[in-house]
Amino acid sequence: MTKSELNKYKSVLQTKQAELVHVLRNRDGIAIEKCPDSLDEVQYATERELAIRSLDRDSVLLRNVRAALDRIEEGSFGVCLHCEEDISPKRLAAVPFTAYCIVCQELADRCLHEGAEDLDELLTPV
């Protein structure tokens, strides 16, 4: 990967990181601030659940984005953490914070569907 490509991914990732930090900070306590009187109980519980779930998702995303920025600094960005093959530019353009090539990712997704629990564990380089 060329230096200018790396810089491009770096700025995409930094923008994403800033966005997520902003969202996560502002969303802190959103479920609590919402007035429960204006919603029936079931709807309130659902909204809370959704807020918490999307908070979880954004936290994971932020962790992935930070890890990708670390890999840019280390010079290992764009290489699959599992099989050490280059990740396709098309995949990187779509998911710049991905740590795995499409083959390993699909393998992991399939294992997850079959009841395996931890993606990181599944894909830990041997």
Give the shortest CB-102-to-Zn ion separation in angstroms. 8
The C-alpha torsion from 81 through 107 and 122 to 80, rounded to 10°, is 0
DSSP string, 11-40: HHHHHHHHHHHHHHHHHTTHHHHS-GGGS-
Residue span binding Zn ion (CB under 5 A) among the ranges 27-35, 69-77, 78-86, 116-124: 78-86
Give me the least distance between CB of 24 and Zn ion, in Å please: 29
3-state helix, strand, coil in the chain (%, to 5): 70, 0, 30
The separation between CA 51 and the C-alpha centre of its own chain, rounded to angstroms, equals: 17
- 31 versus 111: smaller Cβ distance to Zn ion: 111
Q: Is 104 in the site for Zn ion (CB under 5 A)?
A: yes
Query: Counting contacts by CB under 5 A, is residue 87 touching Zn ion?
Result: no
Nearer to Zn ion, 51 or 83 (CB): 83
Question: Smallest distance, Å, CB 38 to Zn ion?
Answer: 49
**Exactly one of 13, 20, 69, 80 binds Zn ion (CB under 5 A); which one?**
80
Partnered with residue 65 across adjacent β-strands are none
Tally of CB atoms within 10 A around 38? 8
Q: Write out the residues near Zn ion by the rule CB under 5 A.
A: 80, 82-83, 101, 104
